[in-house]
Chain A
Amino acid sequence: MTAVSIRNVSKVFNQGKPNQVEALRDVSLEVKRGEFVSLIGPSGCGKSTLLRLIANLLEASSGDVVVNDKSAAQARLDQDYGMAFQQAGLFEWRTVQKNIELPLELKGWDKPDRAARAKEMLQLVQLPEFADHYPWQLSGGMQQRIAIARALAAHPPLLLMDEPFGALDEMTREYMQGELLRICAATGSTVVFVTHSIPEAVYLSNRVVVMSPRPGRITKTVDVSLGADRNEDTRNRTTFFEAITAVREGLRGMHAAHVGLGNDDR
């Protein structure tokens, strides 16, 4: 039932050197299968670091990271997760279809199987007519949808996203959030999602994990009871605003409850 299990994890960069930074201190987090969990917090709170620990792109200094009931390292080798970043990170010398095929290529899939899966993923993100285009011919939102298609191409059970909509304008961003929910409902993926945006975190998540910096740690967890069916009307519901307020208070701490938002909250 557990997709990700993080137990008493700490991460120190440049340990023992003058520029030593304690990025995470004693963080524990469980993510259940099929759950959508957002990590939110100001810059430097270690949310991206935590995501990279789950992805095994970084090693924890202490503590355990278990992904899909195995070590994070093994989960990476087995490609148990797909990842998307703030930059779509498409390869400009590859067509859209070849970009989506890349993780399958590395898994050693046959050409026809790869092509069939790429077609399927393009249907999923509703861009089937762009298979032979190059990334620069697509808008930012389209590129990000292709990046999500690529992250999901191997049908990984887990999707790790690092501010994937951070570079998009507000309109595109809300549209993409709807798309992501639709895609996740279709694939049943578990998602760990890093963001700066409170409404984004609340709209998407079953659970919002609030983090604070220096050193990075989890200060509050907000359960979002908006149910499975979410659409544009969801953004007007009282439950939505209540959850937003709860996250906001978690971010500010009780002392500054009446002061304006910090720089990092949009």
Chain B
Amino acid sequence: MNRARSFFARALPAAVFGVLFLGFWEWAVRFFALKPYFLTAPSAIWQQFTGNFSLVRDAATVSGANALVGLVAGTVLGIAMSFVLSRFGFLNQLITPLAVALNAVPIFVLVAVLNNMYSITSEIPRRIMVALVVYFIVLVNVARGLTQVSQTHVELMRSYAASDVAILRKVRIPNALPFLFVSLKIAAPAAVITAFVSEYFGGSQNGLGSRISSNIANSKNAAAWAYVLAACLLGLLFYIFSVVLESLNRKGEAR
């Protein structure tokens, strides 16, 4: 009861703002008689969204699956590599410049290169792209969690004559868990964005990103916006998933 009330109390300002914003948008489009190619009314977008719901859903499923597969693969690889890095410090000096270099360019452009490696209808290049983006986010954070342990903890474990494996299990891994969940909170939305953007570089025209660009190209702006709405919802879904994961981890030590 109390919790429900506090939830509504917190959600209310956001909800009021959202309704006002949509109302203003709708009003502005009608009052200034804005052309659809300039700005589409929310009502028209909603009509497209519900009217073509099965198409929107199919496209969202394609992009969502790419994002999810890439997210899982990138996370697993990132975690595995972070263990290797934290064990062999010298590798850090080899991998970090690579990570920085890859993060310095908009790495979506690699999709064009990856597309050449696989058949034109393959989803694999997009998934590899997502995995790459996720991989570096997870790698950097988890490696930090594994290595930045309190000096007191390490001395304490050494005073217990603990082996490296015991220190890994009882200090480094628990220390790295919060870092993992923070990195997932960043990586999950990034995975969705990467999945969309990857679709702009050719390949099958079946995902949200390609639907948006093809509808824009055909001047079907309201339909394009409907896919944008679906993209927002998908990104939100991934983000909520990562937040829920983190809260499960925090249950015991909630602050």
Contacts and interface: CB of A to CB of B under 8 A. Distances in A.
Interface in A86-114: 87, 89, 91-93, 102-103, 105-107
A83 B159 contact: yes
Given A106-B166, A136-B255, A91 B161 contact: no
A102 B150 contact: no
B173 to A, nearest CB: 10
Contacts of B174: 91, 93
Given A76-B159, A134-B253, A136-B255, A91 B153 contact: yes
Contacts of B30: none
Contacts of A106: 157, 160-162, 166, 170
B161 A102 contact: no
B58 interface: no
A77 B166 CA distance: 14
Nearest to B157: A106
A83 B156 contact: yes
A4 interface: no
B164 interface: no
Interface in B144-163: 150, 152-153, 155-162
B106 interface: no
A203 interface: no
B156 A85 contact: yes
Given A102-B170, A136-B255, A89 B153 contact: yes
B89 interface: no
A106 B155 CA distance: 14
B250 to A, nearest CB: 10
Interface size class of A (residues with CB under 8 A): 20 to 34
A152 to B, nearest CB: 13
A85 B160 CA distance: 14
A53 B166 CA distance: 23
Nearest to B163: A106
Nearest to A136: B255
Interface in B167-184: 170-171, 174-175, 177
B150 A87 contact: yes
Contacts of B162: 106
Contacts of B255: 136
Given A57-B155, A85-B155, A91-B171, A103 B150 contact: no
B160 A79 contact: yes
B15 to A, nearest CB: 34
A36 interface: no
Contacts of B157: 106
A103 B253 contact: no
B97 interface: no
A81 B158 CA distance: 12
A224 interface: no
B13 interface: no
B156 A93 contact: no
Contact of B152 (A55, A85, A102, A105): A85
A32 B156 CA distance: 24
A76 B162 CA distance: 10
Contacts of B175: 93
Nearest to B158: A57
Interface in A59-93: 76-79, 81-83, 85, 87, 89, 91-93
Nearest to B156: A89
B222 to A, nearest CB: 51
B252 to A, nearest CB: 7
A102 B160 contact: yes
B159 A57 contact: yes
In this complex, which of B150, B159, B162 has the most chain A Cβ atoms within 10 angstroms of its Cβ? B159
Contact of A79 (B153, B155, B161): B161
A166 to B, nearest CB: 13
Interface in A139-183: 160
17 contacts: A55-B159, A57-B159, A76-B158, A76-B161, A79-B159, A81-B159, A82-B159, A83-B159, A85-B152, A85-B155, A85-B156, A92-B253, A93-B175, A93-B177, A105-B170, A106-B157, A136-B253
Interface of B: 150, 152-153, 155-162, 166, 170-171, 174-175, 177, 252-253, 255
Interface of A: 52, 55, 57, 76-79, 81-83, 85, 87, 89, 91-93, 102-103, 105-107, 134, 136, 160
Which are the 8 A-B pairs with shortest beta-carbon distances? A89-B152, A83-B159, A93-B174, A87-B152, A77-B161, A106-B160, A85-B152, A103-B160
Given A76-B158, A83-B155, A92-B253, 12 more contacts: A77-B161, A79-B159, A79-B161, A81-B159, A83-B159, A85-B152, A87-B152, A89-B152, A102-B160, A103-B160, A134-B253, A136-B253
